[in-house]
Amino acid sequence: MKKSINILFSLVIAAGLVSCNNGNDRKSSKGQGGLSTNAAERVYVAPGELDEYYAFMSGGFSGQLSVYGLPSGRMLKVLPVFSQNPENGYGYTEETKPMLNTSYGFVPWDDSHHPDISQTNGELDGRWIFINGNNTPRIARIGLQNFKTEEIIEIPNSAGNHSSSFITENTEYVVAGTRFSVPIPQKDMPINEYKGNFKGSLTFISVDQETGRMGIKFQLIMPGFNYDLSHPGRDKSHGWFFFTTYNTEEAHSLLEVNASQNDKDFIAAINWKKIEEYVNNGGGKMVPANYAHNVMDEHTHSATSTMLKEVLTVNPMDVPGAVYFLPTPKSPHGCDVDPTGEYIIGNGKLSADLTVHSFTKMLDAIENKKFDGEAYGIPILNFEDILAGVVKQPGLGPLHTEFDEHGNAYTTFFISSEVVKWKVGTWEVLDRQPVFYSVGHGMIPGGNSRKPFGKYFVALNKITKDRYLPTGPELTQSAQLFDITGDKMELLLDFPTIGEPHYAAAIPAEMIAKNSRKIYKLAENKHPYASFTNADAKVVREGKDVHIYMNMIRSHFNPDNIEGVKVGDKVYFHITNLEQDFDVPHGFAVIGANNAEMLIMPGATETLVWEPKEVGVWPFYCTDFCSALHQEMQGYVRVSPADSDIELSWSLGED
Amino acid sequence: MKKAGIIMIIGSLLLLGLFKFPLWNIMLGAPQYPDPLGMNIYIQGIEGNEEFDIQNIDGLNHYIGMKTIPKAEEMWEFDVFPKVIGFMVVLGVIIGVLGFIGKVSYKWFLGWFVLMSVLGALGMYDFNLWLIDYGTDLDPKAIMAYTHPDGTPMTYKPPLIGYQKMLNFDVDSWPATGAYMIFVGMLLTVVAFFVGKKESKQVA
Ligand SMILES: [Cu+2]
């Protein structure tokens, strides 16, 4: 307890020191945002005009991925990923329920953190975006043609899937590291035997370049530290991956104190090319596992979930020269690599300085075996030998760094609530701007790639307080947009976000807008329960299951009246939207459904299950105002007693 | 009359463009259709400007009781027009060749032009009749039966040529590439006539 008070005390002191430096700036800049400039003009996207960038912001504890336009800060869509979404039926329809299957059964929620857009040669290519589920470890792939979650793979032997999902520069791998170390395999054991017995897994998931299909290539089983964040090498350091660690003390209780004792933790440098080669030559150990692999088929509009039963693990000791530890001060959080691939920035969150490692010096130290001991057999490099430079006293609580294309870095500071621009190479601080309040990640479009588009910087803030009209104790989340084209960063706009916006990724709109799908072609619909014409609309009983092959077009359901359903039946509404026109979805809702509505895109088929519990005549209707006769788009199901002998019948347009 | 014969042949061959390019184009834009729906009218049938435009135009038209846009096999015109055009091309080329070798007079060129003009006018007349039928012969059970302020039922004949506002739609009906090719082709046959006249005078 005494220690933690000391830490708090020193933080307060340090905060005081920093605010002495720029307290005046700070006060005067509260509520800034360009009344004196033309900031409003620069974020104004006139009616009918379109934004310049798509920004994909993590939905945090909503489990989803939100899509914003920049510079307007307008929300365009929330894409359901790890959480059920009653708004369109994701996770409720028969087709999408398998997407949320896991080894723990159906998990309807997660905490989504770090979106990353696919790359080719280290540059954004806009094929897919990946995001991690933190709580029940999973990685999702969202296709940027359909803006739809197409695949989710569970990560075995992981817990708190936080140092994820970051991709190598040709999207060879999506990488997922565990935050919590755990017994591998899981077993019943005393928690206080953590040290030496718990392990941390770093998972390399290969990506098929044509289909995007993911598969776990190998899991590296590392010492029992916490693996916080990670970043792939770029350009010259391509082939390496860097993970920040904390709790190298391997404490298992009151981590806020006990994991903050070491002067330095590590950045783990992983030569994944070397491990890939080892694995390709038959290396590694296949061990039993149980994890779900869920895939959405674009043509059947249906997901399947497959349980996979083994995973290839690699002990770093078995691949000499593949793993090294780079000592990095004080519980580094973000781990970022500059666009040239030379500099590895460790954002030591409890340090007053920013540590920058040199990739060239790292290789040299490895070559010359300049080691400073080892941990669990993994060589620790000498801090001074690999140090490229230190950004001195830039602020308090550095978390993350992004880059522009002019050799500048932008680091976020949680405690001192600011973003600091500094020069890569000279380590000189160029500018600092307050954020409101306590920024977590920052994001520049392409700012973690070889080719940043350094026009805007988005601060993804952790604390909202008084920035918007109050809405009771629970507030919106908050982001801020800066113009970074000048010498000084300039705050242009505040905008609210969903969930907690952890990381984000943005891409020039023209790279993906042109590929965005308008409709699904009926001719390509391979759903087994699709109905395309009046002739194949029908109702079929299979025991207690009643399958309704229904279709819909402005402005009716076919069939619209159904009789012969009985109490105790399980009724499947398989509905095909026959529209082939842009932006004409139809919805479907039926009274008393214990799940949700479903929204059916033109050309798609979706299925909602309804279990009628009472005798009566029960209505259903279209929920999406589709046409002038939307309100006429309705129908009835007659539900008879369980022992009734009324035969199934259905009709449309009969008097 | 070599030059005139060649011009006559080129002029009549230009009509072949009708087998590849649309004769007419009708576009329907509305607030809800910033990308307008459109149909291209070929001599062999009607096609959507985009893949699903015909289906979507039909879907909208059913509200006001219009018939669906006819398939090629539902109108005799789409069977006869290609044959007529084919015949006129062959005829024009034969006349051109005969003119080239001096077997027929340049007056035949004008004869072809007059025949083609008559056929073209008949075609336009027929097309307009179809537009009238399509726009006025409405299903009495139509979902939406609009009336003019004077109480007469509203009809929806698209303009034969030009622009017209119809309910929420801006309708543009204009000749398309094929029509321009006929126009140029027919013009060339007239040129062939005058060139032929000049050439035969020189000979005389
Ligand atoms: Cu509807």
Q: How confident is the model at residue A2 (pLDDT cuts 50, 70, 90)?
A: very low
User: A56-188+196-513 is classed in which CATH architecture?
Assistant: 7 Propeller (2.130)
Q: Give residue A68's Cα distance to chain centre.
A: 14
**CB distance A459 to A494 below 8 Å:** no
Residue in this structure with the two tokens 């430079």, named with its chain if needed: A389
Give the pLDDT score at A505: 98
Spatial CA neighbour of A60 closest among A496, A445, A545, A385: A496
**CB distance A366 to A321 below 8 Å:** yes
Which residues have C-beta within 8 Å of that of residue A124, sequence separation ≥ 6?
A117, A118, A445, A446, A449, A451, A507, A511
Contacts with B52 from chain A: Cβ below 8 Å: 519, 580-581
Give the pLDDT score at A606: 98
Phi, psi of A261 (to 5 degrees): -90, -35
Report the phi/psi class of residue A319: left, alpha or beta, with left for phi > 0 and alpha for psi in -120 to 50. Answer: beta
Task: Give me the DSSP letters along A564-618.
Answer: EEETT-EEEEEEEE---STT--EEEEETT-SS--EEE-TT-EEEEEE---S-EEE
Contacts with B143 from chain A: Cβ below 8 Å: 629
Sheet holding B24-30, edge to edge: B45-48, B33-42, B24-30, B169-175, B162-166
Give the pLDDT score at A586: 97
Res A27 pLDDT > 70: no
The 3-state secondary structure of A76-89, one letter per residue: EEEECCCCCECCCC
Residue A308: strand, helix, or coil? strand
Residue in this structure with the two tokens 């026109």, named with its chain if needed: A581
HSE (side-chain half, CA atoms, 13 Å) at A619? 7
**CB distance A437 to A461 below 8 Å:** yes
- How many CB atoms are located within 10 Å of the residue B141 CB? 7
Q: What number of C-beta contacts closer than 8 Å exist between A and B?
A: 17
Enumerate long-range contacts of A369-374, CB under 8 Å, 24 or more apart: A372/A327
State pLDDT tens for residues A470-528: 999 999 999 999 999 999 999 999 999 999 999 999 999 999 999 999 999 999 999 99
Tell me which of A553, A582, A586 to substitute to probe the interface with B (most B C-beta atoms closer than 10 Å): A582
- How many CB atoms are located within 10 Å of the residue B175 CB? 16
Spatial CA neighbour of B192 closest among B118, B103, B95, B116: B95
Token digits of residue A156: 């075995």
Task: Give me the DSSP letters along A207-249.
Answer: E-TTT--EEEEEEEEEES-EEEEEEE--GGGTTEEEEEEE-TT
Which residues have C-beta within 8 Å of that of residue B166, sequence separation ≥ 6?
B156, B158
State pLDDT tens for residues A603-645: 999 999 999 999 999 999 999 999 888 999 999 999 999 999 9
Average pLDDT over residues A399-419: 96
Res B185 pLDDT > 80: yes
Contacts with A629 from chain B: Cβ below 8 Å: 63, 143
Distances (CA, A) of A129 to A70, A96, A207, A456, A591: 18, 19, 12, 20, 37
Q: How confident is the model at residue A258 (pLDDT cuts 50, 70, 90)?
A: confident
**CB distance A164 to A176 below 8 Å:** yes
pLDDT top residue among A242 and A254: A242
Token digits of residue A302: 């249906």
State pLDDT tens for residues A84-107: 999 999 999 999 999 999 999 999
Q: Where are the domains of chain B?
A: 2-203
Q: Determine whether A389 is exposed, middle or buried from the number of CB atoms within 10 Å of its CB (0-12, 13-18, 19+).
A: middle
CA distance A29 to B121: 76
**CB distance A108 to A83 below 8 Å:** yes
Give the pLDDT score at A466: 94
Same CATH fold assignment for domains A56-188+196-513 and A528-651:
no
Cβ contact, residue pair B52, A580, below 8 Å: yes
Q: CA angle at residue A419 from A418 to A424, to 5 degrees?
A: 145
State pLDDT tens for residues A538-596: 999 999 999 999 999 999 999 999 999 999 999 999 999 999 999 999 999 999 999 99
Q: CA angle at residue A351 from A349 to A356, to 5 degrees?
A: 85
**CB distance A324 to A362 below 8 Å:** yes
pLDDT top residue among A6 and A404: A404
Res B167 pLDDT > 70: yes
**CB distance A347 to A334 below 8 Å:** yes
Contacts with B144 from chain A: Cβ below 8 Å: 628
pTM: 0.91
CA distance A101 to A107: 6
Rg, C-alpha atoms of chain B: 21
Residue at A491: amino acid letter: L
Residue in this structure with the two tokens 């000592």, named with its chain if needed: A327
| Range among A24-33, A273-282, A394-403 with highest mean pLDDT value | A273-282
**A295: closest CA of chain B, how far (Å):** 29
Q: Ligand 1 mean position to A66 CA, how many Å?
A: 26
A positions 569-598 inside 8 Å of B (CB): 579-582
Q: Where are the domains of chain A?
A: 56-188+196-513, 528-651
Residue at A311: amino acid letter: V
Residue at A602: amino acid letter: P
Q: How confident is the model at residue A32 (pLDDT cuts 50, 70, 90)?
A: low
**CB distance A435 to A480 below 8 Å:** yes
**CB distance A374 to A324 below 8 Å:** no
Q: What percent of chain A has pLDDT over 90?
A: 88
Q: In the predicted model, what is the mean pLDDT of chain B? A: 92
Give the pLDDT score at A464: 95
**CB distance A193 to A175 below 8 Å:** no
Cβ contact, residue pair A554, B59, below 8 Å: yes
User: A528-651 is classed in which CATH architecture?
Assistant: Sandwich (2.60)
**CB distance A267 to A367 below 8 Å:** no
| Numbered residues of chain B with Cβ closer than 8 Å to any chain A Cβ | 35, 51-52, 55-56, 59, 63, 143-144
- How many CB atoms are located within 10 Å of the residue A306 CB? 12
Phi, psi of A364 (to 5 degrees): -65, -45
